[in-house]
């Protein structure tokens, strides 16, 4: 009997400890850049999971991401950034999404089985490296917006435009066999691609005419309520 009471107390203590840890590690604030592809990724992710936390818009044009107080939170001076209840911060859009997936597993957007998780990771990385990277390079190296703000190499920008179009064509044929990027479910891989294509649409690399599967996929994911997050 005594033993039983002792175990019960231990269980109870453990539960309190676990609840306290969970509470301290909860996200409390999201540092956002409205037009940025990476913050958009996290906003869509949070909307899919119905996560509702305080959102702070950082004014990049006013240099608010390079003030000492912001750099103390994220020395990279970038958005998105997630503030936790314990006063710590997490940067990098995919790392933030992974963290949120662990805290709020439903609906699963990083897969459920080990095989599924690896497959989705593979596609999310491909979307980051093969789609977002060239699309964002076109924006960085060829747009007036970045003129004088960062070093531009227009020739590299043009090269990346050609590269992006080759990759769009590859993705278009991949999508002839399935509804979503990583299979038959909407996942983080779609969110990565979707955010990149929104950026491309406004910065010089829209989906060209004739890429039927890619255009149909984009239209489909854009209809989700989370697309407006
Ligand atoms: N790898 C980072 C990239 C973050 C990033 O480049 N964010 C952009 C907005 S999309 C930014 O904050 N740019 C501000 C600047 O470069 O000054 C991520 O995935 O979060």
How confident is residue 8, by pLDDT bands cut at 50, 70 and 90? low
Q: What are the pLDDT digits (tens) for 13-33? A: 777 777 777 777 899 999 999
Q: Which residues pair with 81 in a beta bridge?
A: 31, 91
Q: Whose CA is nearest to atom 5 of ligand 1?
A: 78
Assigned domain for 108 exists? no
**Residues 9 and 60 placed together within one structural domain of the fold:** yes
Q: Which residue has the higher pLDDT, 172 or 5?
A: 172
**Residues 40 and 129 placed together within one structural domain of the fold:** no
Pocket test for ligand 1, best of 34, 38, 70, 195 (most atoms within 8 A of CB): 38
pTM, 2 dp: 0.91
**Residues 95 and 125 placed together within one structural domain of the fold:** no
**Residues 224 and 124 placed together within one structural domain of the fold:** yes
Among residues 82, 103, 124, the one where a domain terminates is 103
Assigned domain for 109 exists? no
Q: Whose CA is nearest to atom 13 of ligand 1?
A: 78
- Residue 90 is predicted with a pLDDT of 97
**Residues 181 and 209 placed together within one structural domain of the fold:** yes
Q: What is the CATH number of the domain that holds 46?
A: 3.40.30.10
177-185 average pLDDT score: 97
**Residues 119 and 223 placed together within one structural domain of the fold:** yes
Q: What distance in Å separates the CA atoms of residue 33 and residue 56, rounded to the nearest whole number?
A: 9
Q: What is the CATH number of the domain that holds 149?
A: 1.20.1050.10
Q: Which H or E run contains 28?
A: strand 27-32
Q: What distance in Å separates the CA atoms of residue 229 and residue 53, rounded to the nearest whole number?
A: 13
Q: What distance in Å separates the CA atoms of residue 195 and residue 229, rounded to the nearest whole number?
A: 11
Q: What is the CA radius of gyration of the chain?
A: 21
Distance set, CA 138 to CA 61, 147, 169, 213, 222 (Å): 20, 13, 17, 23, 22
Among residues 69, 103, 137, the one where a domain terminates is 103
Host domain of residue 18: 2-103
What domain count does the chain have?
2
Tokens 């269980």: give the residue.
Answer: 11
Among residues 53, 84, 103, the one where a domain terminates is 103
Q: Which residues pair with 27 in a beta bridge?
A: 84
Q: Whose CA is nearest to atom 14 of ligand 1?
A: 78
**Residues 28 and 125 placed together within one structural domain of the fold:** no
Output b/e per residue, 47-67; b: 16+ Cβ within 10 A. bbbeeeeeeeebebeeebbee
């Amino acid at each position: 009997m005594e033993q039983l009471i002792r175990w019960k107390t231990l269980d109870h203590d453990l539960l309190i400890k676990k609840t306290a840890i969970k509470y301290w590690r909860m996200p409390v604030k999201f540092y956002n850049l409205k037009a940025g592809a990476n913050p958009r990724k996290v906003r869509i992710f949070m909307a899919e999971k119905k996560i509702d936390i305080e959102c702070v818009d950082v004014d990049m044009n006013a240099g608010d991401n390079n003030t000492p107080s912001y750099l103390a939170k994220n020395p990279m001076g970038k958005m998105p950034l997630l503030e936790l209840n314990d006063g710590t911060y997490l940067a990098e859009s995919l790392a933030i999404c992974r963290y949120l997936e662990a805290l709020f597993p439903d609906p699963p957007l990083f897969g459920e089985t080990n095989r599924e998780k690896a497959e989705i990771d593979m596609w999310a990385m491909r979307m980051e490296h093969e789609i977002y990277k060239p699309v964002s390079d076109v924006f960085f190296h060829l747009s007036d917006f970045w003129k004088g703000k960062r070093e531009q190499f227009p020739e590299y920008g043009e090269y990346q435009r050609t590269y992006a179009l080759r990759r769009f064509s590859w993705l278009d044929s991949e999508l002839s066999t399935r509804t979503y990027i990583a299979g038959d479910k909407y996942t983080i891989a779609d969110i990565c691609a979707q955010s990149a294509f929104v950026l491309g649409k406004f910065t010089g690399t829209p989906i060209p005419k004739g890429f039927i599967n890619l255009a149909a996929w984009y239209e489909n994911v854009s209809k989700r309520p989370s697309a407006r997050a």
